[in-house]
Amino acid sequence: MTKVYNFSAGPAVLPKTVLEKAQNQLLNYKQSGMSVMEMSHRSAIFEEILEHAKAQVKELMNIPDTHSILFLQGGASMQFHMLALNYAQGKDVAYVDTGNWSQKAMDEASRYGTVHCIASSKDKNYSYIPEFSTDNLEKYAYLHLTTNNTLEGTAFTTLPKVNIPLILDASSNILSYDIDVSQTALIYAGAQKNIGAAGVTMVIIRNDFISDVKDLPPMLSYETMIKNNSLYNTPPTYGIYIAGLVFDWLQELGGVDAMIKLNTIKSNTLYDFIDHSDFYSCPVHGSDRSLTNIPFKSPNETLDAKFVKEATDKGLLNLKGHRLIGGMRASLYNAFPLEGVDALIAFMMQFEGENH
Ligand SMILES: *Cc1c(COP(=O)(O)O)cnc(C)c1O
């Protein structure tokens, strides 16, 4: 098998050591004679896996005792709906529109409440993070932000201090971004980008952030999920196990701070190269650039398509930009190695030489 680098935006590359550990334990987890996939979610052995994953991420993200950690299903897209069902019904809610995923979140919220878009970067194709005032937010039930915009390649560098519940979609930069969890009411992230395998959605929720809606369907009630420790029904057991292995790997490498350092080096290497080139360009405003998702373009769409094809032939996979954005996109999540960035730049230089 030839060496490949997987630039996918999600499901994305996982640490090789994590996959090897899962392989070693696949048939017989810790002398249990069973695979994790075969275990009852109510068994002591699975409970240990669940509690271990929670303890590891609690430490990694400095999650205070005021907050619960949930592992749910349905992806971040289900959270768009679930949080609106729980907290937006008949209320005014505030959203910052920073791109495709924020818009999807707003669409779901508008089924239940009155959505106020308090800032948007739509005027410039979502190439920057808009500024907004945190005064007079009291009339809103919550403020929703997308911390990293996976398609457009922008990210919040700091989070606003607000006196209403702050809700974050951190799907594409959780564990690559310093979040003060104590300042948040709810954080959600699909696992398939920076946590583990698709099928798990991690939610970090303040225990007193309780919906006042009566008779919520139990599968869509945060309160039910908190009370049952994610075990109201069968949770995505294998995905939780993989997330735990990724959390172990992160701990060994030095945690979120170490990841921010490494991701800064990886992304700066690529941004610097692009910024010094008159062939490639990145549409995103300098200080709002994402550490994890880097969109770029060649001089025209024909060359973009040629680039993606030739890169694929060289083992540089999944560089095609999102269909709504075009061009290319390199996703450099925690598990993506620095050598992969060097390999991409070497190819970019060669391609430019041949097509200038
Ligand atoms: C990928 C992504 C989503 C959608 O995730 P699903 O798990 O596919 O529902 C939502 N928000 C952001 C920021 C994303 O990157």
- Tens digits of residue pLDDT in 190-241: 999 999 999 999 999 999 999 999 999 999 999 999 999 999 999 999 999 9
CA 213 to ligand 1 center in whole angstroms: 26
pLDDT beneath 70, residues of the chain:
1
Active site residue 249: no
Spatial neighbors of 298 by CB under 8 A, at least 6 apart, are 279, 280, 304, 307, 327, 328, 351, 355
Condensed to tens digits (0 to 9), the pLDDT of residues 1-28 reads 678 999 999 999 999 999 999 999 999 9
Active site residue 169: yes
Q: Atom 8 of ligand 1 has which residue's CA nearest to it?
A: 75
Give pLDDT, residue 324. Answer: 87
Task: Specify the pTM.
Answer: 0.98
Residue 176 φ then ψ, to 5°: -125, 10
Q: Atom 10 of ligand 1 has which residue's CA nearest to it?
A: 76
Q: How many CB atoms lie within 10 A of CB 333?
A: 27
Contact 157, 104 (CB under 8 A): no
Give pLDDT, residue 160. Answer: 96
The token pair that represents 199 in the structure block: 């099928």
Q: How many CB atoms lie within 10 A of CB 78?
A: 17
Specify the residue for token string 């606003």.
160
Ligand 1 binding pocket, CB closer than 6 Å = 10, 75-77, 101, 146, 150, 169, 171-172, 190, 193
CA 167 to ligand 1 center in whole angstroms: 15
Give pLDDT, residue 151. Answer: 97
Give pLDDT, residue 1. Answer: 64
Q: Atom 7 of ligand 1 has which residue's CA nearest to it?
A: 75
Contact 122, 110 (CB under 8 A): no
Active site residue 306: no
Give pLDDT, residue 229. Answer: 98
Residue 266 φ then ψ, to 5°: -60, -50
CA 277 to ligand 1 center in whole angstroms: 31
